[in-house]
Amino acid sequence: MANQHDIIFQHVSFSFGDEIVLNNLSFNIKTGCHTLIKGESGSGKSTILKLLLGFYHPDEGRIRWKDNTIHPQEIRKQTAWLPQDLDLGSHSVSKVMEKPFEFSCNQKKATTEHQKIEILNQLGLPKNILDKPFRTLSTGQRQRVGIAICYLLDKPILLLDEPTSALDSKSKRHIANLLLSNKAKTIISTSHDPSWVKKADYIIEI
Ligand SMILES: Nc1ncnc2c1ncn2[C@@H]1O[C@H](COP(=O)(O)OP(=O)(O)OP(=O)(O)O)[C@@H](O)[C@H]1O
C-alpha cells in the first residue's frame, strides 16, 4: 500500500549532453524500507541519488512524493547523504563531524564529544582519530566517518552511495546491521556487497 511519503519516479529521463543516462525510468521507493539500486558501473546509480537531492532535474518525467512534486529543499532537510567519494576537507575529523550540525535545519541535534567517540568506536575507529585531518584518513576510514555523521544526523531518509565498498567483510556486516536495523528509516542505497544486497527489501535494477 502506498504511503504519503513514498517517493515515486515517474517516467524519468536524464542526459548529460548527448549521453542518455536514464531513459523512461519508473519505480517507487517505499517509506521505512531499504531499496537498493543495482546496475553496472556507469549505469546511472549515483545520478539517481543526485536527482533525488535536486542537484539535477529530470529532462522528462517527475520525481514526486506521492501526490506532490518533491521540493529539493524539503528532501534535503530530511536526508542524510553519503556520497561515493567523500571529501570533507582538511579540518580535523572532530570538526568535520560537527560541521553538518551548524546548518540551521540540524542545529537542534548538536552532537557531543561522547556521542562522537561512541559511534566511532562502534565503527571500529579509535578515539584519537578525532584529532587527525580528515584528508589524511584512508578511504575506509573516511567511509566510516561519513557513516558516523549520517548516523548522528538521524534523518528519516538515508541515501548511501556504495557505503561499504572500501571496508573488510566484518565491518561491512557490522555497518549493515547498524544502519539497516532501524525500520523507521527509508534507506536508498547503491552497493555491490553481498552482505548489503541481501538486506535490501526491494532491488531496482537499472
Ligand atoms: N557531472 C557529469 N557530467 C557528465 N557526465 C557525467 C557526470 N556525472 C556522471 N556522468 C556520466 O553519467 C553516467 C552515469 O554516472 P553515475 O556516476 O551515475 O554511474 P554509476 O552507476 O553510479 O557508476 P559507478 O557504479 O561506477 O559508481 C556515466 O557515464 C558518467 O560518466
Nearest CA to ligand 1 atom 6: 16
Distance 47 CA to ligand 1 centre (A): 6
Q: What pLDDT score was predicted for residue 117?
A: 95
Q: Domain for residue 2, yes or no?
A: no
In whole angstroms, what is the distance from residue 191 CA to residue 175 CA?
A: 13
For strands 157-161 and 79-82, give the pairing: parallel
Read off the CATH number of the domain in which 146 is found: 3.40.50.300
Q: What pLDDT score was predicted for residue 70?
A: 66
pLDDT tens figures, 79-88? 999 998 888 8
Whether residue 83 has its Cβ less than 6 Å from ligand 1: no
Q: Domain for residue 1, yes or no?
A: no
pLDDT tens figures, 157-177? 999 999 988 888 888 888 888
Q: Domain for residue 175, yes or no?
A: yes
**Domain range spanning residue 18?**
7-205
Q: Domain for residue 172, yes or no?
A: yes
Closest CA to 86 of 15, 16, 165: 165
Whether residue 44 has its Cβ less than 6 Å from ligand 1: yes
Q: Domain for residue 98, yes or no?
A: yes
Interface ipTM: 0.98
Amino acid of residue 201:
D
Nearest CA to ligand 1 atom 5: 16
Encode the chain (206 residues) as per-residue pLDDT tens digits.
Answer: 556 668 899 999 999 999 999 999 999 999 999 999 999 999 999 999 999 998 999 999 998 876 566 676 778 888 999 998 888 889 999 999 998 888 777 767 777 889 999 999 999 999 999 999 999 999 999 999 999 999 999 999 999 999 988 888 888 888 888 888 877 899 999 988 887 888 899 999 99
Distance 19 CA to ligand 1 centre (A): 10
Q: Domain for residue 82, yes or no?
A: yes
Q: What pLDDT score was predicted for residue 80?
A: 92
Total of domains in the chain: 1
For ligand 1, pick from 12, 43, 162 the residue to mutate: most ligand atoms within 8 Å of CB. 43
Nearest CA to ligand 1 atom 26: 41
